[in-house]
Structures are given as C-alpha cells and as structure tokens.
Amino acid sequence: MLKIKRVPTVVSNYQKNEAADDSVGCGRNCLGACCINGARLPLYACKNLEKSREKIVVSHEAEEPPVAFLESLVLGEWEDRFQRGLFRYDVTACETKVIPGKYGFVAQLNEGRHLKKRPTEFRVDKVLQSFDGSKFNFTKVGQEELLFQFEAGEDGQVQFFPCMPLDPENSFSVVAINVSPIEYGHVLLIPRVLDCLPQRIDHKSLLLAVHMAAEAANPYFRLGYNSLGAFATINHLHFQAYYLAMPFPLERAPTKKMVTTVSGVKISELLNYPVRSLLFEGGSSMQDLSDTVSDACVCLQNNNIPFNILIADCGRQIFVMPQCYAEKQALGEVSPEVLETQVNPAVWEISGHMVLKRKDDYEGASEENAWRLLAEASLSEERFKEVNTLIFEAIGCSDQEEDPEGTIVHQQIPNGGVFNQKSNRIHGGPITNGTASECIVLQ
C-alpha cells in the first residue's frame, strides 16, 4: 500500500484534523438529518442544452457578453460570504503575478492556504476507494457555506427559485464555497451531495459540471477535478471552479489532433507542455463531448491511473491529464527541491496556476521551475502512449482514421501507438500489479 503524508487543504470550516469525526449532534447547521429540516437555498436550474437547441457554440455573440445570470449568482453569493468573514483569509490580499516566459504561468504567494498542523496520511495507490462516512465529507459543511442548488433543467430556459427547500428525498446538487480559495470566487460543485458519491467520474456528474461551465458563459471560469491519487483531498465527489481572467498555460499549449470519434469528438494531444495531456473538443452535442470524456475517465479509473480534468472554454474544451506524481513521491523518486516547495500538482497547478507557500519560491518563480515541477507529474512518453491506447479502445476509437474527409493526412499519429498490438493488454500500470478486474466499479 502506497501512502504519502500531506497537509490537506481545508475546504470547509467544519473540516477537522482527525479522520474520525463525531457524525451526529449538531447545532452546526449541517446537511445531516439533524439540521436539514427547513433548510432553503436558491435553486438554479440551467437550460437543457438539447432543448434550447444550442449546440456547443453561441454562434453570433454580439459583443463581449454581459455578466451572465449564473456568474452574478456565484459572484454575488461569494462576495456575501466574503464580507461575512467565512473564508480563512482574503485571497485578494495575496500577491500574484504572471511569470515571464512563453506560457505565462501564474504564481501566487499564499502562506495561509495550508494549516500548520500535522499532515494526514493519504493512500495514493487506489483511484477507486469507497465512500467513508466517518471521514469528513460535504454532508458536514455548514449551510452558510452553501451558495445555491444547481441542476440540469428540463426546459429550454433557465429557471431560478430564490428560496427553494432542500429536499433530502430529491437528490440535489450544491455549489459551496472553498474556505481556502485559490482565487476569488473559488467554489465547489458537489453533485447529489446526500447520495455520498465517492470521488470518481460518472457520466451524469461530469455532464452537470459541463453544464455549469456552459451556463457561466465565461471562458475564464473553469471547472477542475482531481481523482484520488491526483491530489483530491476529500473522497466525496466534487468539482472545483474559480475565475482567473487570463488563459491558463495549459490552454495555450499547441495541440496535435490524434483522432475523431464517430460522434465528432476531436481528441488531440498537447505538444510542448510539461505534463502529457489530452484535449477533447467538438462533438455533435455537449453531451457527446461530456460522455466521451466520461468514458475515457472511467477507463482511467478502472486501470487505476490517477488523473485530473480541466473543463475550459465554457465547456467546449476538456483536458484530461493522467499523472503519477503521488506514486513517485511515495517511492521517493521526486527531486528534493521540488518536494521542498510542498506544491502538489493538482488540476490548477498542472493548468499553470501555482500557489506557493514560501516567499523565496515566489520571488524566484520562473517558467523553468514551474516546468520542472510539473514534469515530475507527467507520465512518460511510452506510458502515455499505452494509456492513450486504453482510452481509445474504451471510447470505441480504435478503428477510426484521422479525418473522415479522407484528404491528405499530414498528422499521421507519429508513434503509431494507437493500433499497436502489444498495447492491447490492459494493465494497472506500475502501481498495482493487478488487472482491471480488481478494481470494483460502483456506478
């Protein structure tokens, strides 16, 4: 069993040090049966993308689009909690800058993000782990940390109810604040919170996250996801989101198309980026895109490969980044200088937003350093090819030629990796010696 010690980020004011927790007995205004009676939150039901006949792109945006309704809701509620002092620190008081260089990595000096307390042990060799109600989870957050309910509506129109009761019978999803924000507006999307889903991707939940990105209608509002083993702190299904009004380095990296699925989803690999990643875009509908990514992630989960997801460009672009940093760390293979920074390469770091704890690290932040750190998280070239093969098989892509037009294909998949016979075996990778069947999939 591989473990590492980490100081977990406190995302809720009710998160305690110890793993064991007093689950009952409140007055904390949580989401448990003890407190939920009479609880109300605004409900935002976004428009059903199919019904509103909106494909992926609003084709004729007339101007810099005005702040959308969802964005106002998120910002307005966040500012309310901000002024009420619910956050552990004022993130806007943390110095931040763009590191000079080709990619524009973003560095922030934030000494307060991590509690100075004893680190907890995290098991990093299993991407799929069952939900453990005794540990901290989002049913234990105080209701004041919840901003609103969010659901994929049935209608072609947005529906908003300023004060909707929370109905434990009717599985609801919520948006909550992250009390240790990376940036202003940092929230958590928790699908079907009372269902206590473990941290793993399923089709419905990813689609909800993609809906949120589309509704926010702001390319600078991205959603991110960390699998277990890729620096998720809490094993209760959640996505994160915040605003940063500039492109992430990940979004700037050049890409090379690898394959197009039958539903028109284009899959490319990133070129010249420290972490080898895939970009999914296109598709005849947003659901097609989301489902294809879900298929890929389920495959990764079943093969015990930790990964992160970035949903960008209002849900039009979804990056999937398999990684192996935690495993390397557990095996003592990460360079000491990188370890000393105590920066864990989770989704935001891999995307290019580095939160640094030490002033020296911040002052000396360079594109080179950032690159070196992130490169430690990347799969090797060879391993990445193997993983891609697994993914393409899982999404039913193996026979897909690159371009249905049949024109001159300049971008032959250079490694020929996709159709390589020897990559057909499914294996769990170096972490476990098991096969996929050892990982129980609970959908």
Is 346 exposed, middle or buried (CB count within 10 Å of its CB: 0-12, 13-18, 19+)?
Answer: buried
Q: Would you count residue 408 as binding other proteins (CB under 8 A)? A: yes
Question: Which residue's entry shows tokens 């072609």?
Answer: 156
Q: Give the Cα separation of 325 and 186 in Å (integer).
A: 24
Q: Residue 223 carries which DSSP code? A: E
Q: Is 114 a catalytic residue?
A: no
DSSP annotation of 300 reads H
> What is the smallest separation between the CB atom of 55 and other proteins, expressed in angstroms?
6
**Cα(72)–Cα(54) distance, integer angstroms:** 22
Stretch that binds other proteins, among 62-70, 137-145, 171-179, 300-308 (CB under 8 A): 62-70
Site for other proteins contains 176 (CB under 8 A): no
Using CB under 8 A, which of the segments 243-251, 290-298, 384-392, 418-426 binds other proteins?
Answer: 243-251
Q: Which of these, 213, 275, 284, 269, lies nearest to 70 by C-alpha position? A: 213
Q: Which residue has the tokens 């990964």?
A: 307
Residue 89 CA, chain-centre distance (Å), reads 23
Quick one: which of 5, 100, 381, 415 contacts other proteins (CB under 8 A)? Answer: 100
Shortest Å distance, C-beta 215 to other proteins? 11
Contact between 403 and other proteins per CB under 8 A:
yes
Q: Give the number of other CB atoms < 10 A from CB of residue 396.
A: 13
**Which one is catalytic: 236, 238, 410, 427?**
238
Q: Which is nearer to other proteins, 220 or 371 (CB)?
A: 220
- Smallest distance, other proteins to C-beta of residue 185, A: 6
Is 93 an interacting residue with respect to other proteins (CB under 8 A)? yes
Report the nearest approach of other proteins to the CB of residue 83 (Å): 6
Residues near other proteins (CB under 8 A), total: 66
**Shortest distance (Å) from residue 94 CB to other proteins:** 6
The residues near 111 (Cβ < 8 Å, ≥ 6 apart) are 357, 358, 359
In the chain, the amino acid numbered 19 is A
94 part of the interface to other proteins, by CB under 8 A: yes
Which of 25, 37, 63, 414 contacts other proteins by CB under 8 A?
Answer: 63
At its nearest, how many Å lie between other proteins and the CB of residue 416? 20
CA distance 153 to 164: 15
User: Which residues are CB-neighbours of 80 under 8 A, at least 6 positions away?
Assistant: none
- Judged by CB under 8 A, the chain residues 306 through 365 that form the site for other proteins are 313, 316-317
Q: Is 347 exposed, middle or buried (0-12, 13-18, 19+ CB in 10 A)?
A: buried
Q: Is 106 in the site for other proteins (CB under 8 A)?
A: yes
Q: Which residue has the tokens 């924000």?
A: 181
Of 184, 204, 357, 393, the one binding other proteins by CB under 8 A: 184
C-alpha–C-alpha distance, residues 384 and 274, integer Å? 13
* Pair of tokens at residue 369: 């350093």
Residues that bind other proteins (CB under 8 A): 55-57, 59-69, 71-80, 82-83, 90, 92-98, 100, 106, 157-162, 183-185, 219-220, 243-247, 251-252, 255, 257, 281, 313, 316-317, 403, 405, 407-410
Residues labelled catalytic: 238
